[in-house]
Homo-oligomer: A and B are copies of this chain.
Amino acid sequence: MSRASRFLHACRREPVDCTPIWFMRQAGRYMPEYRAIREKYSLLDMIRTPALAAEVTLQPVQAFDVDAAILFADILPILGCLGLDLDFVPNRGPVLANPIRDRRDIPTSAVVPVGDVVGTTLDAVAMVKKELAGTVPLIGFSGAPFTLACYAIEGGSSKDYLRAKTFMYREPEAWHRLMAVLVDCVSEYLVGQAEQGADALQIFDSWAGCLGPQDYETFVLPYSARVVAAAKATGVPVIHFATDTAGMLPLMRRLNSDVVGVDWRTNLAEAWDILGHEVAVQGNLDPALLLADRETGQRGASRILDGVQGRPGHIFNLGHGIHKQTDPEIVRDLVQFVHEHSSKKGIP
């Protein structure tokens, strides 16, 4: 078995020779090769130029023995379908010039076609697939409707998303309309990525953990479940990842994704017990552990691997995106360590 197939087998909970590993945000600022390109282009240019997006997508696949590539892209451009203008402002992050502040700002359907908004990203998928030439599978992705709705209403990042949550509580009908539109856009985007050759699809709901379980169930779950269903209908495995959701794992399971991504704030084996073993899991090393030294990260990794005891259906990953301060040498060594440690444990 090679890294061409290990990840996809694990997504389907089939036995593998060793635990597959990839990193959220693996194409990023911790890599000197990435920074060399980033110095020359803006983030939006990199995202919207297929050749550049393809190049940085391939960098970690070439540098490390990771078992999957993940498309270099951002979750926010898709908000262009709602007529929202995105920019990345230095030292401030993403900013939407015209956020949703009123129920009347919400259209009943996309005002700009998905193809017009993220067509270059779909082109990048096709380009990466060709260049990968089957060495590793390619993961496409999208933000989940809730996280996108938060950005759309806040107009950018936020500490506690109070503006978005207040809107959700005060204007439930408008909220549900917004979520329905986002389901359509996100679903079409994900299906488009699968059509261009993405071998798996991950849905990121980075901010879902700012809600209590009851509100998640009422205002979010039905929409994310529709996105998962649309993505699964393409036939590729679907991963759902959210953070700060240790208190609502049973709700995560109800999304019906093939794989549940788990952040580092919970014991992975215990989380898997709660989720049930008829789903695969992905995670969940605290990315901060990689900032110390190689032994600290490897000690954490072996605890995770030993905890799940070689059960088929574990994809190793961090519990969140890799930090920009991470030493690439430690990343390289961790990949090797995870492969060796998990194969020694005699996984069939």
Interface of A toward B, CB cutoff 8 Å: 160, 162, 165-166, 169-170, 209, 211-215, 244-248, 264-267, 270-271, 284, 286, 288-289, 291-293, 296, 300, 303, 319, 323, 325
Contact (Cβ within 8 A) A288 B170:
no
Question: A212 vs B162: C-alpha distance in the bound complex, in angstroms?
Answer: 26
Known contacts A244-B244, A246-B247, A212 near B166 by CB under 8 Å: no
Chain B residues whose CB sits within 8 angstroms of the CB of A303 once the complex forms? 214
Q: Is the CB of A319 within 8 A of B212?
A: yes
Contact for A169 among B212, B292, B323, CB less than 8 A:
B292
**Residue of A160, A209, A292 most packed against chain B (CB within 10 A):** A292
Contacts of A284 in B (CB 8 A): 212
Indicate if the CB atoms of B166 and A267 lie closer than 8 Å: no
| Total copies of the chain | 2
CA distance A266 to B247 in the complex (A): 4
Q: How far is the CA of A211 from the CA of B237 in the complex (A)?
A: 30
- Which of B212, B214, B286 interacts with A212 by CB under 8 Å? B286
Q: Are A166 and B265 in contact (CB under 8 A)?
A: no
* A265 partner residues in chain B, CB cutoff 8 A: 209, 211-213, 244-248
Q: Chain A binding site: helix, strand, loop or mixed by DSSP?
A: helix
Chain B residues positioned under 8 Å from A165 (CB to CB): 286, 288, 291
Q: A162-B325, A169-B289, A246-B247 are known; give 17 further A-B pairs, CB within 8 A.
A: A162-B288, A162-B291, A165-B288, A165-B291, A169-B288, A169-B292, A169-B293, A170-B293, A212-B267, A212-B319, A214-B300, A215-B286, A244-B244, A246-B248, A246-B265, A247-B267, A247-B271
* Complex Cα gap A42–B325 (Å): 37
Q: How many Å lie between the Cα of A240 and that of B18 in the bound state?
A: 42
A284 to B323, CA, bound (A): 32
- Please name all residues of chain B whose beta carbon is closer than 8 Å to the beta carbon of A325 when the two chains form the complex: 162
* Complex alpha-carbon distance, A300 and B209, angstroms: 17
Q: A323 to nearest B CB, angstroms?
A: 6
A265 closest partner in B (C-beta): B247
Q: Complex formed: what's the CA distance from A271 to B214 in Å? A: 14
* Closest chain B residue, CB of each to CB of A297: B169
Residue numbers in B under 8 Å from A244 (CB-CB): 209, 244, 265
Given known pairs A265-B209, A266-B213, A267-B213, the reply for A291 and B166 (CB within 8 Å) is: yes
In the docked arrangement, what's the CA distance between A246 and B265, Å? Answer: 8
Which residues of the partner chain B approach A288 to less than 8 Å between Cβ atoms?
Answer: 160, 162, 165-166, 169
In chain B, what residue has the closest Cβ to A168? B292
A286-B247 contact in complex given A165-B291, A291-B165, C-beta closer than 8 Å: no
